[in-house]
Amino acid sequence: MSAARGPLKGRAARLGQLMPSGPSTAARTPFVLLVVLLLGGGLITLLLLNSALNQGSFELRELKDRTTELTDEEQALQRDVDAYAAPDALERRARELGMVPGGSPAFLGPDGKVLGVPTVAPSPKPSRTPSRAPDRTGDPAASGTRPPAPGAGTAPEPTATATATATATATAPTAPTTSGR
């Protein structure tokens, strides 16, 4: 229609030069292929990135679980250490080893003078419980105990000499002490 009217003048002529009204001379197929390839490449890149992030999240979850397990194990071991380090447990294990409390200590002053009165540690009392569990077979020879001899229901009373000897032995410093001195 514009060809029938004649050439365009003024503003219309300038717009006509910017936007040609005839068939396009540029091929659109390469441009469309480029846009499709860019979009396809972007989607594949997003897919690979998403897969990598998912893999990382699985590894992170496994590491968090492992950390939780190790933390629980550490806390259990710390409870065991605390139980073994408790004063009553230390005293019980020291008595099992035959150690006795050290009594009151004596100190040396800077001038070499002895301060305090040293006392001898008492000898350990015999334990009423066996040091190891008896064998459950019922055989006294296997458990290390002997059956009492016939007629030996009571022990004879000790004499004065035996009592004096036992007292002297009880005051002898033969037992190790728990004080480390």
Does residue 54 have a pLDDT over 90? yes
- pLDDT higher than threshold 50 for residue 165: no
Burial of 86 (C-beta count, 10 Å sphere; 0-12/13-18/19+): exposed
Name the DSSP class of 92.
H
Bridge partners of 107, per DSSP, are 115
DSSP of 100-143, one letter per residue?
A: B---S--EE-TTS-EES---PPPPPPPPSS-SSPPPTT--HHHH
Above 70 in pLDDT, residue 153?
Answer: no
Q: Which of 5-9, 50-54, 132-136, 145-149 has the highest mean pLDDT?
A: 50-54
| Strand intervals (E) in the chain | 107-108, 114-115
Summary mean pLDDT of the chain: 74
Which of 27-31, 57-61, 101-105, 152-156 has the lowest average pLDDT? Answer: 152-156
- pLDDT for 155: 44
Which range scores top for mean pLDDT: 17-21, 48-52, 142-146? 48-52
Q: What is the pLDDT of residues 126-142, one digit of tens each?
A: 656 555 544 444 444 44
Residues 24/18, Cβ–Cβ less than 8 Å: no
Q: Which of 100, 160, 149 is nearest to 124 (CA)?
A: 100
Report d(CA 178, CA 97) in Å as an integer.
10
pLDDT tens per residue across span 66-91: 999 999 999 999 999 999 999 999 99
Instruction: Characterize 40-62 residue by residue with b for buried, 16 or more Cβ atoms within 10 angstroms of its Cβ, and e for exposed.
Output: eeeeeeeeeeeeeeeeeeeeeee
Does residue 100 contact residue 178 with C-beta atoms inside 8 Å? yes
